[in-house]
């Protein structure tokens, strides 16, 4: 319970925004392509988290490989949601993956902070660092893959 009550106050409005936005994108919508091209910036949150991990020889290689896999997966999946692209806008069908990936990034950062505070030995283990970096890379890469798919269509 202290992990929830001890979280910074700004965490809860951020979570509310993520849920609101994720529900919003579950419907067909037309958005400026620039918005899609900027979504990979969400990945900066996970880069910062990986950089803050206990130094480990597995962190960055795991992140890099997972990031590349995320790009490929994100690009493949995004293709089925693109309805049209014209005049600087892209029409996308509704989907729940955006909400899922944003929640994964949010929870990953939250779990990282809680683990560091409550379970420092686990947080510093190579297994935790590797798994954390893989999840971060997949999530971040998926946003890049989606942007690339929209750019190429």
Q: Which of 108, 100, 113 is nearest to 134 (CA)?
A: 108
The structural domains of the chain, with segments of one domain joined by +, span: 2-152
Query: Could you tell me the CA-to-CA distances from 126 to 15, 23, 64, 121, 131 in Å, in that order?
Result: 29, 36, 16, 10, 8
When mean pLDDT is compared across 18-22, 32-36, 97-101, 116-120, the lowest value belongs to 116-120
Q: What is the pLDDT of residues 60-86, one digit of tens each?
A: 999 999 999 999 999 999 999 999 999
Q: Is 145 helix (H, G, I), strand (E, B) or coil?
A: helix
Pairwise CA distance, residues 147 & 34, whole Å: 9
Condensed to tens digits (0 to 9), the pLDDT of residues 1-59 reads 666 777 778 888 999 999 999 999 999 999 999 999 998 988 777 888 888 888 788 99
Q: State the DSSP string of 105-138.
A: HHHHHHHHHHHHHH-HHHHTSHHHHHHHHHHHHH
The answer to whether 133 and 108 have CB atoms below 8 angstroms apart is no
The whole-angstrom separation of Cα 50 and Cα 47 is: 5
Sheet of 29-32, strands arranged across: 29-32, 89-92, 82-86
* Tokens of residue 76, six digits: 């493949």
Q: Look at the block and give the residue holding tokens 């918005």.
A: 35
């Amino acid at each position: 319970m202290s992990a929830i009550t001890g979280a910074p106050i700004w965490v809860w409005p951020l979570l509310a925004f993520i849920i609101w936005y994720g529900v919003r994108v579950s419907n067909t919508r037309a958005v400026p392509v620039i918005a899609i091209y900027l979504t990979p910036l969400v990945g900066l949150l996970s880069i910062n988290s990986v950089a803050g991990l206990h130094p480990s020889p597995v962190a960055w290689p795991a992140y890099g490989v997972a990031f590349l896999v995320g790009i490929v997966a994100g690009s493949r999946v995004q293709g089925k949601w693109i309805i049209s692209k014209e005049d600087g806008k892209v029409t996308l069908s509704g989907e729940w993956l955006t909400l899922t990936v944003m929640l994964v990034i949010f929870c990953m950062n939250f779990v990282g902070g809680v683990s560091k505070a409550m379970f420092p030995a686990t947080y510093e283990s190579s297994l935790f660092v590797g798994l954390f970096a893989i999840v971060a890379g997949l999530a971040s890469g998926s946003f890049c893959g989606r942007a690339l798919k929209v750019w190429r269509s």
